[in-house]
Amino acid sequence: MIYLDHAATSNPKPAQVVEAMTHYISQGCANPGRASHPLANDASRLTFEARERLIDFFSADENAQVVFTGNITESLNLALKGLLRPDDQVLVSSMEHNAMMRPLRQLEQDGIIVTVIPCCPETGLINVADIAAAITPKTTLVAINHASNTFGTIQPIDDIGRLCRQQQCLFLVDTAQTAGVVPIDMESACIDLLAFTGHKGLLGPMGIGGLIIGHRLHDTAITPLITGGTGSNSELEFQPDFLPDALESGTPNLPGIAGLNAGVRWLQEKSVESVSLHEQKLTRQLLKGLREIPGVILYGPDDTQPRVGVVSFVINNKDNGEVDEQLAYEYGIYCRTGLHCAPAAHKTLGTFPSGTIRLSVGAFTTSEQIEQVIAAIRQLASDTH
């Protein structure tokens, strides 16, 4: 098996992730913040440690708050639906994932003004000047997908964040494809809300994600998606008004938090920079090899521009689904085809509605595997001539 579907979820996970989760399922299973016995206290310490580790990992202000969710889709829903009110304007790029666009289209029916900024049809890159031109007195939020899950385009979040701070609007970043793969500094990028998921570049399990809320929002009421038991203020039938409790109701995913904590710790030990360099090297190798194959059409930025390890292509006169099936069942190469839950991005680069074949590398992908993939695609492409 050659697994090149890391944009969907990373595989395999570091051994430390499996060990941490196993412990909190088999021996350390207790409900944090709900009791004072040793197991519950240990669970509380783990949860606190994971929050602190994430604040450090993303270079957030020490007063930032980490709210755990089930995944980044929930995190984005929490940020968008918790903050935006009728007649607020939100600016987004034309490269967004449906995890961003579907909540916004729902909110649009309730009076939220959604303005989509067109991106470059060759690279998917947004022009910061276009964002500046679209800002109005009603602009409450700029919400940007840091990197495209379809074409690998990395958006200039530092420049966008500085613009947002100058214009007194909030900045939300979707880091689904960059957390753990690209160094992110919340403070220098002026990020107010950072949504992340545990199961991709952070090398944790599925079912855990979060929203990091910067200090500028501490006095802003974010409406919770779910209310209920928090282990705090239990004498009241009203939701606590302090973070993170206000936005975290119900029993948390303790094994997931343990796995996420272990994944981030592994990345801190290895360094995100080293993972990034590894994936960039493999991506350049993949792009070079595919570019030399007659009949293969590549989409997105070239290897001289900032991008994550996501490569989209098609083969002339070949059905994408057929190529995907052949790669999986004849060559043992696992990837993904279609629209990748990002129709807006495919419309931007002109690959809608047929979509593309997506290859995405990860921390454990090898150069030898990339060579095997290139050879397999060369063989499939030659079958069309």
Q: What is the pLDDT of residues 163-189, one digit of tens each?
A: 999 999 999 999 999 999 999 999 999
Q: Which pLDDT band holds residue 383 (cuts at 50, 70, 90)?
A: confident
CATH superfamily of the 2-9+272-382 domain: Aspartate Aminotransferase, domain 1 (3.90.1150.10)
**Where do the domains of the chain lie?**
2-9+272-382, 15-270
What residues contact 273, with CB distance under 8 A and at least 6 apart? Answer: 183
* Model pLDDT for residues 52-86, shown as the tens digit of each residue: 999 999 999 989 999 999 999 999 999 999 999 99
pLDDT value for 12 = 97
| Mean pLDDT to the nearest integer, 1-19 | 98
- Find the helix or strand (DSSP H, E) in which 324 lies: helix 320-331
| Mean pLDDT to the nearest integer, 311-333 | 97
| Whole-number percent of the chain with pLDDT over 70 | 99
Cα separation, 278 vs 166, in Å, equals: 35
15-270: CATH architecture: 3-Layer(aba) Sandwich (3.40)
Triad 360, 364, 370: Cα angle to 5° = 55
Angle between helix 320-331 and helix 367-382 axes, rounded to 10 deg: 130
Buried b vs exposed e over 315-347: b needs ≥16 C-beta within 10 Å? beebebeebbebbeeebebbbbbbbbebbbbbb
**Whether pLDDT at 385 is above 60:** no
| Mean pLDDT to the nearest integer, 98-123 | 98
CB atoms within 10 A of CB 231: 18
**Whether pLDDT at 220 is above 80:** no
| Mean pLDDT to the nearest integer, 153-162 | 98
| Mean pLDDT to the nearest integer, 126-152 | 98
| Mean pLDDT to the nearest integer, 309-337 | 97
DSSP letters for 228-275: ---SSSTT-SS---STTGGG--S---HHHHHHHHHHHHHHHHH-HHHH
Q: Which pLDDT band holds residue 384 (cuts at 50, 70, 90)?
A: low
User: What value does the mean pLDDT of the chain take?
Assistant: 96
Q: What strands lie across the sheet with 65-69, from one edge to the other? A: 65-69, 209-213, 193-197, 170-174, 139-145, 89-93, 113-117
CB 319 within 8 A of CB 160: no
Using DSSP, state whether 55 is helix, strand or coil.
Answer: helix
The pairing of beta strand 170-174 with beta strand 139-145: parallel
Using DSSP, state whether 105 is helix, strand or coil.
Answer: helix
| Mean pLDDT to the nearest integer, 153-159 | 98
Considering all CA atoms of the chain, what is the largest pairwise distance in Å, rounded to the nearest integer? 74
| Mean pLDDT to the nearest integer, 274-302 | 97
